[in-house]
Structure 1
Amino acid sequence: MMSFINRWWLVSAMLASVLLISACGFHLRGASEFPFKTIYVQGSETTPLGVSLRRNLKGQENTALVDNEKDADVVLDILSERPEKVILSLTVQGLVREYTLNSYLTFQVRNSDGKLFLPPTTIVLHRVISYNENVILSKAAEEAMLYKDMQGDLIQQVVRRLSVLKMD
């Protein structure tokens, strides 16, 4: 059974940690505010990244995803997206020990007249995955999960860059 003094110290420590966290300015990231009202996404209509990006943009409160480039304030051009799997290390027997999973996304932002607000930009993400031929199915599932995680990170980076876009 915990004594009164131990309980008092525990409550005091918890209260102090809550006060310190709130005092440092920590707060959850809210919805992104874009400097434009409408956006059109060009390219990657059927890829998982393109579908997720469109879903994310449709969910934004102050911005509408339009179906026509001429109706949009800005056009997000997906120039290329590509996953890559590279051998990182081998065992003494020459078998793969680790892979590096890379995900590349190149995009630009312009208006319907062609004026660039953001020149072609490439985002590159890397993840390292160990490999064991004895558990091929679980490693394939882990690889798919890592690619999906990278896809989410790519979308968040694109959204953050859109939210700080200079529309001059």
Structure 2
Amino acid sequence: MKKVQKVVLITILSLLTACGYHLRGSIALPAALKNMYLFGASGALTGETKAVLKASDGKLAGSPNDAGIVVKVLKEDFRRRVLSVGSTGKSSEVELNYYLRFQFYDNKENPLQDEQTIEISREFFNDQTAILAKENEEALIQKEIYRQAVRMMMSRAQAAIENQKL
């Protein structure tokens, strides 16, 4: 019976690896993206960038000279807007807007692409009977917005590097 379990487990694991399964959060990065320098970003964006790079065997460089690609954040803005107000005068529905404008450079300060913009918007219901849970939900949504922005930025950086090689 134990041999059958081992065979089944090995078969399942080999099928998972053969189908291209990888851990959530990891991205296949080219060599130039495994060492990135981020300039002018907020702490939250920097933290998420570190996490995504770490999951993909990359890291943030200590200086632009050590980096394969430099990301210069030109403008970053996170806004919270109340969409509707309940009978108690408290917000019932909230919209979170994130705006990021940046540009890619090589380590010799040559621009790789024109300025890029990412805009992400999320709405959520703010139930006033579960205030603590909703605060946690808002923090989780903010974290996910930053993660999505980093993933979008990484895919654009990958395209910039590939276009540079052509």
Fold similarity call, TM over 0.5: yes
Larger helix proportion of the pair: 2
Q: Is the 8 A contact 2:92 2:127 kept in 1?
A: yes
1:19-168 aligned within 5 A: 28=21, 31-34=27-30, 36=32, 38-44=35-41, 47-61=43-57, 65-91=60-86, 95-165=90-160, 166-168=163-165
* One-letter amino acid of the structure 2 residue matched with residue 167 of structure 1: Q
When residues 39 and 144 of structure 1 are mapped into structure 2, their CA distance, relative to the original with a 3 A threshold, is: closer
5+ long unaligned stretches in structure 2: 1-18
Compute the displacement of 1:72 (Å).
2.6
SS in 2 for 1:164: helix
CA–CA distance in structure 2, aligned partners of residues 64 and 151 of structure 1 = 17
Structure with higher Rg: it is: 1
When residues 136 and 93 of structure 1 are mapped into structure 2, their CA distance, relative to the original with a 3 A threshold, is: closer
* One-letter amino acid of the structure 1 residue matched with residue 38 of structure 2: V
Give the alignment's Cα RMSD to 1 decimal: 2.7
What is the total number of aligned residue pairs between the two structures? 141
Aligned-residue identity in percent? 23
Alignment deviations for residues 5-47 of structure 1 (CA, whole Å, 9 cap, x no partner)? xxxxxxxxxxxxxxxxxxxxx8557732326264322223x61
When residues 67 and 158 of structure 1 are mapped into structure 2, their CA distance, relative to the original with a 3 A threshold, is: same
Following TM superposition, the consecutive aligned residue runs of length 4 or more in structure 1 with deviations greater than 4 angstroms are 26-30, 91-95
Give the alignment's TM-score, normalised by structure 2: 0.69
SS in 2 for 1:154: helix
Q: Is the 8 A contact 1:111 1:117 kept in 2?
A: yes
CA–CA distance in structure 2, aligned partners of residues 93 and 56 of structure 1 = 41
Q: Could you tell me which residue of structure 2 aligns to residue 23 of structure 1?
A: none
Give the alignment's TM-score, normalised by structure 1: 0.68
CA–CA distance in structure 2, aligned partners of residues 47 and 101 of structure 1 = 18
CA–CA distance in structure 2, aligned partners of residues 94 and 60 of structure 1 = 46
